[in-house]
């Protein structure tokens, strides 16, 4: 079946540091890939997505590139801010029902 | 901006009791989902719902679980006889026709004692 493995946290960075959160997946065919973010006390919000190989999703300074050859979708940001502190979830869907398969989530804390 | 809402934010219940978790999806959405996250574990799919029917369910979604859209706005998850292992955060999500993005609510934390 489908599965997502992401880097376990917590990850603690200083403001303006470079962020990478690794995500790899197992799925047949070409799944759609997502990063969701959960800020404290809020629901899961879509951060970015990519639907085919070599697509780059981007939003709010975050980027992730769909790499079919390495089955990866790593999240990056060049300069993190305190307001980026949240839990980040990598997810995929494959198939007509659009059910999402999630990774365990990575807690990011950015210190001033 | 339209959003998915869930009530209550936290529910505490005794083992064996029935609970109903409520969700109000985005108003023009047609596809509805429940997921759960046991503390420290992955977010897991429970069930999807479309056109007043379950379209898919996971092995977790056994006879103790049911879903309903009782009116035009609410979408509920019922657990008939709660177990300790049902303690988790439950997320509702909805999706519009012709889109691939699910919008999630803030979750209900269920604690079974």
- pLDDT tens track for B59-104: 999 999 999 998 878 999 999 999 999 999 999 999 999 888 899 9
Of the residues B33, B44, B102, the best mutation for testing chain A's interface (the one with the most A CB atoms within 10 Å of its CB) is B102
CA of A37 vs chain B CAs: smallest distance (Å): 11
Block residue for tokens 């899961």: A44
CA of A44 vs chain B CAs: smallest distance (Å): 5
Q: Are A110 and A14 in contact (CB under 8 A)?
A: yes
CB spacing of B101 vs A46 below 8 angstroms: yes
Count the helices and strands in chain A (H runs, E runs).
Answer: 0, 12
H, E, C per residue of chain B:
CCCCEEECCEEEECCCCCEEEEEECCCCCCEEEEEEECCCCCEEEEEEEECCEEEEECCCCCCCEEEECCCCCCEEEEECCCCHHHCEEEEEEEECCCCCCCEECCCEEEEEC
pLDDT band at residue B25 under the 50/70/90 scheme:
very high
Q: What is the pLDDT at residue B40?
A: 79
Residues of B with CB under 8 A from a CB of A: 3-4, 6, 31, 33, 35, 40-45, 48, 55-56, 91, 93, 95, 100-107
CA of A13 vs chain B CAs: smallest distance (Å): 21
C-alpha–C-alpha distance, residues B27 and B72, integer Å: 9
The pLDDT of residue A31 is above 80: yes
């Amino acid at each position: 079946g489908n599965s997502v493995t992401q880097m376990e946290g917590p990850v603690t960075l200083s403001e303006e540091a470079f962020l990478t959160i690794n995500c790899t997946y197992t799925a047949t065919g070409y799944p759609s890939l997502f990063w969701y973010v959960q800020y404290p006390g809020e629901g899961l919000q879509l951060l970015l997505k990519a639907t085919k190989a070599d697509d780059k999703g981007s939003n709010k300074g975050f980027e992730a590139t769909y790499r079919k050859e390495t089955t990866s979708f790593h999240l990056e940001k060049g300069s993190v801010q305190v307001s980026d502190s949240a839990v980040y979830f990598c997810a995929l869907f494959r198939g007509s029902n659009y059910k999402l398969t999630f990774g365990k989530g990575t807690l990011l804390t950015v210190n001033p | 901006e339209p959003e998915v809402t869930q009530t209550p934010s936290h529910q505490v219940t005794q083992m064996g009791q029935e609970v109903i978790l409520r969700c109000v999806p985005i108003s023009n959405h047609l596809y509805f989902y429940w997921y759960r996250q046991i503390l420290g574990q992955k977010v897991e799919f429970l069930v999807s719902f479309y056109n007043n029917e379950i379209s898919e369910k996971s092995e977790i979604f056994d006879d103790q679980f049911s879903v309903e859209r009782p009116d035009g706005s609410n979408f509920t998850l019922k657990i008939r006889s709660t177990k300790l292992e049902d303690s988790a955060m439950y997320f509702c999500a909805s999706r519009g026709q012709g889109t691939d993005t699910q919008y999630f609510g803030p979750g209900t934390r269920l604690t079974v004692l």
